[in-house]
Amino acid sequence: ETGVTQTPRHLVMGMTNKKSLKCEQHLGHNAMYWYKQSAKKPLELMFVYSLEERVENNSVPSRFSPECPNSSHLFLHLHTLQPEDSALYLCASSQESRGGFTDTQYFGPGTRLTVL
Partner 1 sequence: GQNIDQPTEMTATEGAIVQINCTYQTSGFNGLFWYQQHAGEAPTFLSYNVLDGLEEKGRFSSFLSRSKGYSYLLLKELQMKDSASYLCAVSLASGGSYIPTFGRGTSLIVHP
The Cα 68–Cα 84 span in angstroms is 25
The Cα 27–Cα 94 span in angstroms is 8
> Does an H or E element contain 87, and which?
strand 87-94
Contact between 71 and partner 1 per CB under 8 A: no
Site string for partner 1, 78-107 (x = CB under 8 A): ------------x-----x---xxx-xxxx
Binders of partner 1 among residues 22 to 51 (CB under 8 A) are 31, 40-43, 45, 48, 50-51
Contact between 114 and partner 1 per CB under 8 A: no
The Cα 49–Cα 35 span in angstroms is 12
| Cα atoms found within 13 Å of the Cα of residue 32, Cβ hemisphere only | 27
Contact between 66 and partner 1 per CB under 8 A: no
Which positions lie near partner 1, rule CB under 8 A?
4, 31, 40-43, 45, 48, 50-51, 55, 90, 96, 100-102, 104-110
